[in-house]
Every structure is written in C-alpha cells, then in structure tokens.
Amino acid sequence: MSIEVKVPQLPESVADATLVAWHKKPGDVVRREENLVDLETDKVVLEVPAPADGVLKQIIAADGAVVTSGQLLALLEPGAVSAAAAAATSSVASAAPAAKPAAAGRPSAPAAESAVAPAAKSGPGANRMGPAVRKLVDEHDIDPAAIAGSGREGRITKGDVLEYLADHQASTVGLEHEVLPGAGVSDSEPQARGPLRNEQRVPMTRLRARIAERLLQAQQQAAMLTTFNEVDMTAVMALRQRYQDPFTAKHGVKLGFMGFFVKASVEALRQFPVVNASIDGSDIVYHEYFDIGVAVSTERGLVVPVLRNAEFAGVAEIERSIRDFGERARKGGLRMEELTGGTFTITNGGIFGSLMSTPILNPPQSGILGMHKIQQRPVVVDGKIEARPMMYLALTYDHRMVDGREAVQFLVHIKDLIEDPSRLLLEV
C-alpha cells in the first residue's frame, strides 16, 4: 500500500507555500528522513523528509506549484529499498559491458557525456543543497558531488560553491582562451564589438516578496520618525578585549557587541515601555516581556529571528543564540516559530560598513534600533580633543504612539548604558 507524502502543517500566519524543487524523481530509492522536496514560505524554506524507506512511486505536485497544509505531494512505495537497489546495481553491471564497444568509437562520446551529465546533477551531492545553492550550481553547470560541503551534515553552502569556482577559475579561463579562436567563425566574418547588454529576469522569491510587502506596509501604516545619537565604544571595547579569552574558553562563543546592546535595549525598554508596545486597532498593547528580534542577512534576504524573554538571558546565552540564528539562517534551518512575534528589533548595518541609516519598522512593533560602523573620530573629552571609537545609533519609532521626548530619552539611556557597562550589572 502506497504511503502519502503531504505538506506539513503550516503555521496560522502562513497560508501556503511554493514547491521549490524535488530532490528525487519517480523510481528513485529513498531512505527514511531523507529530504524529498523543498517548500518555500514567506519566512523559511521547509524540507519534507521521506516518512519511510521505499521507492518514490509518483509525484503529484510539480516544481513551482503553490501548495497548502496537508496537500498531497507524492506517493511512496514502502519496503522496496533492497529490491530496487539490487535492480539498480544489476542494471549498471549489465550496462557496463555494452558501453565498452561504444567507447572505441569517437562519435559515441558526446552521447555518453549527455547521458551522464544529468545523472551527476541528481547524484548524492544534490540532496546536500538548499534552493539558492542549487540555483548557483545549475547556473555554473557544476557537479555537486565534486564539492565538499562544510555545512551541517555535509550540506553544501554558497561559500563552498564560490570557493570551488575560485579554485577552478584558472583552468576555466585557460579553456576559454583555447576554444574561442576556433569556434567556427571565419576570419572574414565581422566580430561583435562593444559591451554586452544582457538582462536576466527572475521571479521574486517568496521571502523577498514578503519583505517587500512588509516594508511597504510599514511605510503606509506607521508614522515613522528617526532620531540619532552617537555612543563612545571605548569602555565596551576595553571590557571586551580584557575578557575575550576567558569568556570564549568558558562559554565556547566569542564576546561580541550585540550582547551588550540587547541587554541595554531591555533596560531601556523597561524605562520606556511604550517603545516595547504595539497598536492593535484603537488599542495600545503594552508587552510585559521582551522578545528581541535580531536582523540576519542571508543570500535569500533579510530574516529576523526572535530571542525570546531576553530579560532572563545572560550575555553568553545571547551571543550563543545569535550565532546559532546566523548559522541556521544561512542554511535555511530556522523554524517558523523563531521568526514570528518580537516586540523590538535590533539591526546592525555596521558589519557591512554602514556609517548611518534610517531603519524601517518591523510591523506591528513601535521601535527598531540601528547599529552602525565603529569609527575613530575626534571628540572633546574633559576639554581635550581625543580620538575615540564612535558609533552612530538610530532609533526609528512609530510617532502615533511614541512621542519624540520618549524616543530621544530611550536612545540616550542606551547610550549611557553602553558608555558605562557597569550600569547594566547594577540596573541603574
């Protein structure tokens, strides 16, 4: 009796998903928990594992289909792994002698190559890639089996593909220079000159479309205003340098700046609870907990995993959580519940070199903190000009519920806590 492979239950906030790509075709042997297909929602990419050992009998929903919770995707014939594997082995063995005569003649070589190439793309390496990585592999016509995966369980990351391309760039360039002169163009034929003006049209991913929708929603529905300040990072940087080695040795994670800013944000939100609130119709909802979203940039777009109950987390736990979020976000491994909710958001454009920006609210939140690049600048300290590591801070807030006075004081409070980190311990 066939086993039905269905779309897993989607959260209430997600109506449907797009079927990105099948990793197996009808007749392929599959193992229990082996990824069969990728489903892309507007938040994450979901993997649908095989419910049992067997053979993929029939694919019901094709690539690109929009599917909903519980919808039938495919039929699986259970308990046929051994027989199918044996049949595949015997077919390969019987085909091997037949291939020898063909190898003796040159004309059959291209046919052999064309028969092998598609199989390479669906080989063992194909199941170790996310949709974005698979697209990059297809664009450059790379055999996934030739790439060593550095991700979890040997998954191939974008960095692995780029490294592979860099390693093989020299040989590729040499091949191009060797082939182009004899490409069937006679000396008498005119050669095309000038820059190439190619275009490529690709549909938005579900995530990118969702990001665009929410940003437009924020612009249209919130009265956004941004206030700025600057913070002297001397004290935090000295503290970080002093305790970096013992902190790393004890907690297994480096001491960064985000832990300090999350703790400072929580304390500032305690003092100014309206910045931690949201509007629901004609009501203002004051959240008595602190779920801090931390923006993470991935090759698919920006995602904001949420650090739940940040008020109870120490600096080490915050740093570990953020590192884990970043690693899993780039591999498409974040869970849906980790991307929903949040009462306040922190984004760090400084890691990309941004000196100043105006972040956009993450609805229905009323505030978002923007961190920026640390830069040595001359400042006046005790009547003397000194070079200090300075960072611009930006707070974008919803002016419908947050007044300018509260927004400015909120940002000043964060500045004071960062410039004197001992206040975080004393909660003053």
Structure confidence by residue, pLDDT tens digits, 172-217? 444 444 444 444 444 455 555 667 788 888 777 777 777 787 788 7
54: left (phi over 0), alpha (psi -120 to 50) or beta: left
The bridge status of strand 17-22 relative to strand 3-6 is unpaired
**Is 317 in contact with 338 (CB distance < 8 Å)?**
no
Would you say residue 103 has pLDDT above 60? Answer: no
pLDDT at 168: 66
What topology is assigned to 3-81 in CATH? OB fold (Dihydrolipoamide Acetyltransferase, E2P) (2.40.50)
- Number of C-beta neighbours around residue 67 at 10 A: 20
Which residues are within 8 A (CB) of 107 and not within 5 positions of it... i.e. 6 or more apart? none
* 3-class state of residue 78 by DSSP: strand
Q: What are the E-state strand segments in 155-271?
A: 224-232
Would you say residue 263 has pLDDT above 80? Answer: yes
Q: Tell me if 3-81 shares its fold with 113-172.
A: no
- Number of C-beta neighbours around residue 52 at 10 A: 15
Tokens matching residue 167: 């390693």
Domain 207-426 top-level CATH class = alpha beta
- Number of C-beta neighbours around residue 114 at 10 A: 9
Convert the pLDDT of each residue in 125-174 to its tens digit. 555 677 667 777 777 778 887 787 776 667 787 777 777 776 665 444 44
pLDDT at 80: 52
Domain ranges of the chain: 3-81, 113-172, 207-426
Query: What is the distance between the alpha carbons of residues 352 and 373, in angstroms, rounded to a whole number?
Result: 8
- The catalytic residue among 143, 324, 399, 416 is 399
**Is 43 in contact with 14 (CB distance < 8 Å)?**
yes
399 is catalytic: yes
H-only helix segments in 296-377:
315-330
Share of the chain above pLDDT 90, in %: 39
| Average pLDDT rounded to a whole number, residues 310-327 | 93
pLDDT at 191: 54
Measured CA distances, 282 to 297, 343, 362, 400 (Å):
34, 18, 19, 11
Query: Where residue 261 falls among pLDDT bands split at 50, 70, 90?
Result: very high
CA angle, residues 242, 348, 374, in degrees to nearest 5: 50
The CATH number of 113-172 is: 4.10.320.10
Query: What is the distance between the alpha carbons of residues 373 and 356, in angstroms, rounded to a whole number?
Result: 8
* DSSP label of 173: H
Q: What radius of gyration do the chain's Cα atoms show? A: 28
403 is catalytic: yes
- The catalytic residue among 403, 413, 416, 420 is 403
Query: Where residue 42 falls among pLDDT bands split at 50, 70, 90?
Result: low
Amino acid at position 100, single letter: K
Query: What is the distance between the alpha carbons of residues 212 and 208, in angstroms, rounded to a whole number?
Result: 6
Would you say residue 120 has pLDDT above 70? Answer: no
- Number of C-beta neighbours around residue 392 at 10 A: 21
pLDDT at 13: 59
Q: How many helices (H) and strands (E) does the chain have?
A: 11, 19
